[in-house]
Amino acid sequence: MADWRRAGDRITLANGCFDVLHVGHVRYLRAARELGGKLVVAVNADASVRALKGEGRPVMPAEERAEILASLSDVDAVVIFSEMDVRALIRDIRPDFHAKGTDYSVESVPERDEVEACGGQVVIVGDPKDHSATDIIRLSSRLRPRQS
């Protein structure tokens, strides 16, 4: 990232569990990328996904979620983090923008104070939260044939 800074690139940080990648994630990441510069995506480690979403989650391990995200053209870098929020990563990266989805407001972003202390700006991006990995997982479990 130091090379990006030397080249004058802005850095946007987006984060989430990304347990089952869906169109809402793609739209969120595309909108984050449109802020300009480089997009870094921080992915919750397995233990933090379990703490946030409950037993049985994540469906995919963090390394696989990160690999899928890294393959997207809008994403420049992916990092897995184990903390419950990205404050430490914000201090390390010092993003120009911290992109959060529309299930937040600027005021409700937990890391807002850290972003602003580092000179960055919180930006709400993406389409309305009409898609959910939890809902997809719940629906798919109802559609699976029962084992006899």
pTM as predicted: 0.86
Q: Hey, what are 88's tokens?
A: 């430490």
The per-residue pLDDT for range 84-124, each reduced to its tens digit, is 999 999 999 999 999 999 989 999 999 999 999 999 999 99
pLDDT band at 131 (very low <50, low <70, confident <90, very high): low
Which pLDDT does position 82 carry in this prediction?
A: 95
Exposed e or buried b for every residue in 60-83, given b needs 16+ CB within 10 A?
bebeebbebbeebebbbbbebbee
**What's the token pair of residue 84?**
């419950």
- CA 97 distance to own-chain centroid: 13
Q: Are 14 and 39 in contact (CB under 8 A)?
A: yes
